[in-house]
Amino acid sequence: MKKQHLFLIMIAFATSFVACKKDETNSENKSLAIPSAYDSTNFVGNLGDLISFRQHFDAMVNEAKKGRVTNQTASATAMENSFKAGTISIESFTIPAFAALLVGENGWFKELEKASGTTYHVDSASVQGGTFGGYLFDENGFEPEQIIEKGLFGAALVNHAHTLLKSPRLAEVDQALYIFGATPHFVNSSAAKLGAAADKYMAVYAARRDKNAGNGIYAQIRFNFIKLQAALKAGEAYQNEKNEAIAAIISNMEKANFATVINYCQTSISNLSLTSLTDIQKAATLHAIGECIGFTMGYKGIQNKKITDAQIDEILVMLNAPATGGGKPGLFITDRVNQIQKLQLIINKIQQIYGFTNAEIEDFKKNWIVEQNR
């Protein structure tokens, strides 16, 4: 009887063990519940010094924009002070090689200051550049403001978002969202009427490239921030979902950046294809080329990206960017017959890298925030 009793106990234990393993397996295989909205409960409290960080970023950019006004001089010292200010500075988030392009006597802060306070015309020789058609250019037709602002979208903001998302806690997901430029509302718009909920920084350009059909670049970023937050709350069993969401966020930020390069190339092609250009159109084209250079250069040196640094350099050469390709973006105006084809080659190259469809390339021509008045 004792042997029979012991045998029954062993069977019961084995059955219980199998049942437990089965329950654990079922738990691990259970689909992640993804809510419809991002949980903003602790959002503001998790931002800490990033709030003052964004204030310093905005102050730096606003100082740069002073140079757009004729006879008004922007201060290199003020820009550099904002770049270095705070417990966590813009400089501390920036890829070192890119930061070196901005500071010092030969950096772009100083070059912007030198160009400001006077006027410029792309068809005339100029020693130091100046304002032209509402923008500030150096003597080669490059807009320094764009490497300072748009370049830092990648080299500082996206770069730091990548760091935050390497092995994030919930607080760091909030911080990455804030650095991207969105809020838990994910309004898909930069309209002033939205107040503090309006998108800023890279989020603005993701929104511009998203036609609000529910599956665009901005929508994918929104969905995956919500998914990432849900996966972290659900625990260790959802590592795959967490990693999928991180990869999708990083990928779509990059797509937003280079879809925007395509947009500005398309704008430039449209302008340069006209029989003749007014000064306003010439300035707008140089501004668009400057945007292309800033957005492209800002991604050089970022880790865990699809485009390579070598491909970035190839694009910068075709854009006649500073320190590459002769460093004279003004050639797109003064030698446009020989330059315009480069822009289509850039579009083709980026399309091939990211696998954008022809329909997406066509959609990238539009600023969907303006198009849909949202």
Q: In which domain, by residue range, is 93 found?
A: 45-371
Residue 136 burial (CB < 10 Å; 0-12/13-18/19+)?
buried
Q: Is 71 left (phi over 0), alpha (psi -120 to 50) or beta?
A: left
Would you say residue 19 lies in a domain? no
208 within some domain? yes
Q: Is residue 330 a contact partner of residue 140, using CB atoms and an 8 Å limit?
A: yes
261: nearest Cα among 303, 321, 219, 214:
321
pLDDT in tens, the chain (374 residues): 444 444 444 444 444 444 444 344 334 558 999 999 999 999 999 999 999 999 999 999 999 999 999 989 999 999 999 999 999 999 999 999 999 999 999 899 999 999 999 999 998 866 789 999 999 999 999 999 999 999 999 999 999 999 999 999 999 999 999 999 999 999 999 999 999 999 999 999 999 999 999 999 999 999 999 999 999 999 999 999 999 999 999 999 999 999 999 999 999 999 999 999 999 999 999 999 999 999 999 999 999 999 999 999 999 999 999 875 458 999 999 999 889 999 999 999 999 999 999 999 999 999 999 999 99
Determine, yes or no, domain membership for 24: no
Domain contains 18: no
The answer to whether residue 12 sits within a structural domain is: no
Q: What is the pLDDT of residue 28?
A: 52
pTM for this prediction: 0.91
pLDDT of residue 288: 98
In a domain, 4, yes or no: no
Q: Per the structure, how many domains does the chain have?
A: 1
- 83, part of any domain: yes
What Å distances lie between residue 5 and 8, 9, 11, 19, CA to CA?
Answer: 5, 6, 10, 21
Q: Tokens for 116?
A: 């400001």
Predicted local confidence at residue 327, as pLDDT:
84
Sign (positive or negative) of CA dihedral 40, 41, 47, 52: positive
What pLDDT is stored for residue 5 in this prediction?
46
Report the alpha-carbon distance of residue 253 to residue 296 in Å, rounded: 13
Amino acid residing at 271:
N
Q: Let me know if residue 117 belongs to a domain.
A: yes
pLDDT of residue 326: 57
Nearest-angstrom CA–CA distance, 366 and 208:
7
